[in-house]
Amino acid sequence: MEYSPSDLTERERYKVLTSFVLPRPIAWVTTVGPTGVVNAAPFSFFNVFCESPPLCMFAANNRPDGRTKDTLVNIRRAGEFVVNIPDEPLAQAMHESSGDFPPDIGEPSYLGLKLAPSSKVSVPRLADTPWAMECKTWKIIEVNGDRVLVMGEGINFYIRDELWDRDAMRVHMDRYHPIGRMFADRYCRTDDRVIFPEAKGPVAK
């Protein structure tokens, strides 16, 4: 089977991409509104892609009625946000936070999620997530007028203490249970893992 993207509708292209590019990590992004309401919204068109400087990117599309999402409104105004990574115990709350919340109702307060102050940005992080990165906006790229790519520079990392081997600078994978996005309302656990020996190329003669 073969498709040209130009022969598909926008929805059909979305379904092809999200059906096969998976599992995808989820950025649970916290921002602060103009009245101090803390917003938390999940984005699965997301990843990190550079370490010097530490850069991440996520895509924010408009709401079905064309309105700009609160996350983007807040980032445009304040220029900062926090990327929180959800794990299994927080997966249900993360999914519920994807609902259509009005700007005056913050997802963390509505869902009973704990907040903790950040060190280098004014936006709080979600206190119970295993990992969080405080970000300053690095670049915003408009796409077709209905989607925006938000690039953030990580300026501070938070790691849950029991997950990190400080000496080896390595995560304790047996204690870390991130959740992945599949498509629609489907997610995946990541505990079924495969370890391969170190890859070696052909020996030069």
DSSP code, position 89: G
**What is the model's pLDDT at position 146?**
80
**What is the model's pLDDT at position 114?**
98
Domain ranges of the chain: 24-189
**What is the model's pLDDT at position 145?**
80
Global pTM reads: 0.92
**What is the model's pLDDT at position 37?**
97
**What is the model's pLDDT at position 184?**
84
Q: β-strands 147-159, 115-116: how paired?
A: unpaired
**Which tokens go with 44?**
């699965």
| Superfamily of domain 24-189, CATH level 4 | Electron Transport, Fmn-binding Protein; Chain A (2.30.110.10)
Q: How far is CA 89 from the centre of its chain?
A: 16
The whole-angstrom separation of Cα 12 and Cα 125 is: 35
Q: How far is CA 69 from the centre of its chain?
A: 15
Q: What is the 3-state secondary structure (H, E, C) of 109-129?
A: HHHCCCEECCCCCCCCEECCC
Residues (pLDDT < 70) of the chain are none
**What is the model's pLDDT at position 27?**
97
